[in-house]
Structure 1
């Protein structure tokens, strides 16, 4: 009875090559074939670790024939490693198709964990990490992007996105418009690389900062957004509500929220969000 090969799902560094784990090097050296998102991109990594294993491209535009070719090699007893351009395969890349078909055919799939930009950003962001939602890349066109953001405005989990550098300013401006300028965000850029930057603050202020420093519009970007206040926390009491309604009669929402926080002891972001929602109802 023939034995199938193993499909290894191998994480690779997102920037700093020192983050490559020994088990990943061993897997890439010993398999019969490496299925890489971009063989040219991966050649530097493989050369650095003296990995001479043959490679084949496997990406968004790979057809069913390429998938079948890899599966046949696995079924014939050869082991294959799946890698992406950087980080953990299947996190915002097409590798799930190969993994799904492999599992359906009884081929063993073994993860070799390592770097992941989403998790690296979350670990250093200082935002709630007990519950979070990874949303991948937002749509490139503004109307579609705003529609997605609007659908997530009441999501209480920390939201995580990947974003292209040439769109990050527009995205921050859209988030400020839809979520409110006071919603807390964290921008994690060029993680593990020379110009790594992790900065957080109110999204309106972050948009101004990125607009004033074009260096922040370069490289690989992870954007994290603090979740909305849970519905159970929205009852702020009769007196606090009275204070806010009086302030809103005289002041813009941002100023009313700031002063209301000092008078009531409640969080400014919470009062800002409350004011936005209640102003829409009136």
Structure 2
């Protein structure tokens, strides 16, 4: 006998936590299914409407964790959904329904089409919250061995060689660890271009298939990684991380010019402190030059 689906209202389903109206961004595992959070499971089990870039992926994840649909709609939302689908979802939220938007893998809005939906919900003044969890970029950063105090996520660079090199030139002076996503087919070209544009000696890491069976992290200079990858046929999801640019050397002439401007309205001590912080040079160097400029 075919069973009648349970009502979609979470309040009528015993044991489920009521999910407030609005848009709930749900982070999903990037590999290991057990990496999902308890809160994410609560949202997926209790939301009125389920939305995903790939509904098959979401259905499979829910089956793994024993979460029943109970007659709830599962709606696809991706780059080709169009304005009509967006307005439909906004209308559901305006009616007081709770929508769970699940990323295909990882955190929604990180190289993910959910950005337009979240931005539209915020612009409409609708409730918006997140059930945080896995993110390939952050997982790779923690494994890379590169500085994590400041980082810059650039996502996927352009596919064509000329546009990719231009993008790398724009990223070259960034004083932060660069985080990029790349396909296995273009990884060798990216590393080769990065070595050429950013310098062969820049430290970097290639993180592949994170949290999965064949997880691998390659570390070395851009030249070393480019050579290693050129000899292999890698597969899977890949994150590339590149160390920040070395600090630019500051000449004494530049320090002196900055001190001359500062000494016009500051004491020697204050001017030395200000310039050392502004140009990121040792204070004793700035103070020595400041004393010499004052005596002149």
TM range (shorter): 0.7 to 0.9
The one of 112, 119, 137 equivalent to 2:138 is 119
- Check if 1:181 corresponds to 2:200: yes
CA distance, structure 2, for counterparts of residue 67 and residue 36 of structure 1: 12
Match of 2:244 in 1: 227
Q: Is the aligned partner of 1:40 residue 2:56?
A: yes
Q: Structure 2 CA distance, aligned partners of 1:163 and 1:127?
A: 18
How is 1:89-238 mapped onto 2 (pairs within 5 angstroms)?
A: 89-214=108-233, 217-231=234-248, 234-235=249-250
Q: CA deviation at 1:101?
A: 1.4
- Give the Cα–Cα distance (whole angstroms) in 1 for the partners of residues 27 and 42 of structure 2: 12
For 1:21 and 1:166, locate their aligned partners in 2 and report how far apart those are by CA, in whole Å.
Answer: 32
Counterpart secondary structure, 2:218: strand
Give how far 1:50 is off: 2.1
Show the counterpart of 1:262.
none
Task: Give 1:16's aligned residue.
Answer: 32
Query: Corresponding residue for 1:85?
Result: 104
Among candidates 61, 66, 69, match of residue 50 of structure 1: 66
Q: CA deviation at 1:236?
A: 9.3
Q: Which residues in structure 2 correspond to 1:239-278 (within 5 Å)?
A: none
CA displacement at 1:20 relative to structure 2:
0.7
- The CA distance in 2 between the partners of 1:52 and 1:94, in whole Å, is 25
Q: For residue 59 of structure 1, give the secondary structure of its aligned residue in structure 2.
A: coil
**What is the match of residue 249 of structure 1?**
none
Q: How many residues are matched?
A: 230
> Equivalents in 2 of 1:50, 1:26: separation in Å?
12
Name the CA distance, whole Å, in 1 between partners of 2:95 and 2:53.
Answer: 23
Moved segments of 4+, more than 4 Å:
none
What is the CA deviation profile of residues 143-185 of structure 1, one whole-angstrom value per residue up to 9, with x for unaligned ones? Answer: 1111101111121211000001110011111111111111111
The alignment yields a C-alpha RMSD, in angstroms, of 1.5
CA drift at 1:213? 2.1
In 2, Cα distance between equivalents of 1:220 and 1:236: 44
Aligned to 2:84: 65
Q: CA deviation at 1:42?
A: 2.2
- TM-score where L is the length of structure 1: 0.79
**Distance in 1 of aligned mates of 2:58 and 2:204:** 32
Cα deviation code 1:226-271 (max 9, x no counterpart): 010122xx2599xxxxxxxxxxxxxxxxxxxxxxxxxxxxxxxxxx
